[in-house]
Structure 1
Amino acid sequence: MTTPAPSKIHYRKKARELELTYSDGQTHCLPVEYLRVYSPSAEVRGHNPSQAVLQVGKQHVGLQNIEPVGRYAVKLHFDDGHDSGLYSWEYLHDLIENRDAYWADYLRRLEEAGASREPLGIEIKQL
């Protein structure tokens, strides 16, 4: 059985959430910070678990664009410049289903690293 594609994807800018609506009426909202720290990109996940890079300071990250990729995924363009991960329908479903466990694991890893969700300073963007 294949994972269904969302029938609607909406960015709730003020809340910094990605709202996914499915044809069966279910709606799920995923925080952009969660999507960013669990990006499926090699830059974040590495090519195996030992190469994963803990994402820190992403609490206030937002989205600049959502780009469809065929009929199987979306590419999210984050306002911190990250845009190299493809979020397949299967991967988004996994993030929905395991949100509590994944988030608890992320917070645990931050604590172990002595790191924070808060940005370290003021980011200056090049024009």
Structure 2
Amino acid sequence: MRKNTIRPTDIKLHQKSRVLEVAFEDGSRFSLPCEYLRVYSPSAEVRGHGPGQEVLQVGKENVNITNIEPVGTYAVCLHFDDGHSTGIYSWDWLYHLGTDFDELWAQYLERLEKAGHKRKPAPAAG
């Protein structure tokens, strides 16, 4: 990760659109879908305990965040409506998810396809 942590200046949850907006002190601003945050949770349940132990998360298209809990001055714990709440999202991890969104999202979609899973379309806003 980064040598010098860039800290967030603002974190806003848009529950209706299921997006977490994070602004950082370097001027970067990222809109991160809840599904993306859920499938890239830094928890052992998702990442495993070592390389090659990652668990592909499926069926998370409509997951939402129900609570954002501060963890010291270095992270937040995101609570999802599917019961997942064990990932500690450090500022570095959130920044990484924002800066590398396109690449990581493409990898996720590719892994889903290789595993034979199709993403269900999100329901229409209403």
Kindly provide the amino acid, as one letter, of the partner of residue 79 in structure 2: H
Give 3-state SS (helix, strand or coil) of 1:75's partner.
Answer: strand
- Structure 2 stretches lacking a partner, 5+ long: 122-126
Counterpart residue number, 1:92: 94
TM-score (norm. length: structure 2): 0.88
Q: Is the 8 A contact 1:56 1:118 kept in 2?
A: no
Match of 1:27 among 22, 26, 29: 29
Match of 1:9 among 5, 8, 11: 11
Counterpart residue number, 1:124: none
For these two proteins, the number of residue pairs brought into alignment is 119
Kindly provide the amino acid, as one letter, of the partner of residue 80 in structure 1: D
Match of 1:46 among 37, 45, 48: 48
Kindly provide the amino acid, as one letter, of the partner of residue 28 in structure 2: Q
Larger mean Cα displacement after TM superposition, 51-60 or 1-10: 1-10
How far the C-alpha of 1:116 sits from its partner, in A, is: 2.7
Counterpart residue number, 1:123: none
Match of 1:106 among 104, 108, 117: 108
Larger mean Cα displacement after TM superposition, 70-79 or 18-27: 18-27
Structure 1 residues 24 and 97, CA gap change in structure 2 (3 angstroms): closer
Q: CA RMSD in A?
A: 1.4
Alignment of 1:107-126 (within 5 A): 107-118=109-120
- Structure 1 stretches lacking a partner, 5+ long: 120-127
Show structure 1 runs of 4+ deviating over 3 A.
Answer: 23-26
Whole-angstrom CA distance in 2 between matches of 1:64 and 1:31: 13
Give 3-state SS (helix, strand or coil) of 1:50's partner.
Answer: coil
Larger mean Cα displacement after TM superposition, 15-24 or 45-54: 15-24
